[in-house]
């Protein structure tokens, strides 16, 4: 005779095997509001595609690519482009569609791709902070420290760290049983909304997720803040002109770091069982931040604006 616990476990496993797709509940239940945001996010998405493509072409086909800051900026634009391609088209589709579903395999793929690209972007932001730090604190050793070979090594490390981070979350999800519940209170496959569907105690898993995501991201953010505080402290002995020039070099990066990290930390700070506005806040680093990044690095960057004018003027004259 089988015990009631064993029968319940077998029933749970059967239900888990029958779950072949998940249904998204979306951002809002108000259809008119979703149609309004459909147009808004579509415009944001087109702006991200166009803007980051322009940055990539401008940096790649100009002398800016020889500068380390723009070399990393090129990769940051590429990550923003890939990240939005992974997440935003499906979000836009769901805002207009009556049914919002995704297969289990597609859900796993989206989870892995999103966290891989986010992990790489986080590390690239760290690389850009390191570049600013060395340029301001150790200007005489800058070329020796931030040479192209070391920059390439940092990019490889960014992909390695991003892969490790994403594969850890994916393996965690693969081992979890889903007991027939397939309504995800979100617009994408993320670890927190998926954990709410798990039919076993997720206390340990929550700790692992917080350790793997929140603690690491928060630690990186604090290190970045500390590095810029150290930069500001070391600038106190310089002239006002030198201070303004140095601060303008890294102010854009500070804005991008804050816009990306603060919503990310808020989204993952609470465990999966808690109720917060994580899906609404996640729109910020999924859609809004990539669009603001390109505005910050173009409209606030004199050298980028000058290069853009020269490059596109040259292209227009060549066509004539």
- Render pLDDT for 210-256 as a digit per residue (tens, 0 to 9): 666 667 788 888 888 888 888 877 777 666 666 666 666 677 778 88
201-217 burial code (b ≥16 CB/10 A, e <16): ebeebbeebbebbbebb
Q: Give the single-character DSSP code of 141.
A: G
pLDDT of residue 191: 80
Higher pLDDT, 272 or 14: 272
pLDDT at residue 182 above 60? yes
Higher pLDDT, 142 or 184: 142
pLDDT at residue 97 above 80? no
Residue 159 and residue 32: Cα distance in Å, rounded? 40
pLDDT classification of 264: cutoffs 50, 70, 90? confident
> Structural domains in the chain?
47-56+64-307 (1.20.1070.10)
pLDDT of residue 150: 92
Higher pLDDT, 183 or 84: 84
pLDDT classification of 16: cutoffs 50, 70, 90? very low
> What is the pTM (predicted TM-score) of this model?
0.83
Q: Are 92 and 45 in contact (CB under 8 A)?
A: yes
Higher pLDDT, 198 or 90: 90
Rg (CA), the chain: 22
Percent of the chain with pLDDT over 70: 79
- State the average pLDDT for the chain: 78
pLDDT of residue 241: 64
C-alpha count within 13 angstroms, C-beta hemisphere, residue 189? 26
161-180 pLDDT tens trace: 889 888 888 888 777 777 76
């Amino acid at each position: 005779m089988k015990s009631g616990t064993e029968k319940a476990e077998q029933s749970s496993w059967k239900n888990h095997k029958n779950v072949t797709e998940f249904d998204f509940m979306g951002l809002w239940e108000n259809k008119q509001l979703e149609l309004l945001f459909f147009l808004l996010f579509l415009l944001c998405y087109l702006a991200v595609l166009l803007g980051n493509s322009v940055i990539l072409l401008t940096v790649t086909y100009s002398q800016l690519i020889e500068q380390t800051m723009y070399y990393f900026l090129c990769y940051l634009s590429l990550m923003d482009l890939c990240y939005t391609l992974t997440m935003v088209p499906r979000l836009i589709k769901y805002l207009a569609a009556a049914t919002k579903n995704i297969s289990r395999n597609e859900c796993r793929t989206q989870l892995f791709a999103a966290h891989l690209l986010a992990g790489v972007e986080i590390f690239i932001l760290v690389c850009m902070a390191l570049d600013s730090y060395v340029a301001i604190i150790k200007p005489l050793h800058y070329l020796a420290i931030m040479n192209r070979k070391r920059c390439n090594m940092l990019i490889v490390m960014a992909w390695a760290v991003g892969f490790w981070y994403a594969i850890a979350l994916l393996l965690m999800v693969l081992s979890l049983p889903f007991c027939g519940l397939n309504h995800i209170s979100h617009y994408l496959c993320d670890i927190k909304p998926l954990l709410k569907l798990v039919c076993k105690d997720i206390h340990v898993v929550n700790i692992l997720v917080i350790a793997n995501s929140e603690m690491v991201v928060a630690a990186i953010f604090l290190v970045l803040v500390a590095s810029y505080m150290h930069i500001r402290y070391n600038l106190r002995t310089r002239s006002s002109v030198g201070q303004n020039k140095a601060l303008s070099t890294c102010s854009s990066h500070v804005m991008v770091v804050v816009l990306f990290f603060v919503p990310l930390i808020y989204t993952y700070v609470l465990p999966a069982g808690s109720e917060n506005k994580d899906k609404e806040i996640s729109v910020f680093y999924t859609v809004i931040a990539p669009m603001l990044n390109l505005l910050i690095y173009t409209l606030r960057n004199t050298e980028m604006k000058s290069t853009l004018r020269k490059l596109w003027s040259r292209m227009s004259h060549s066509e004539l």
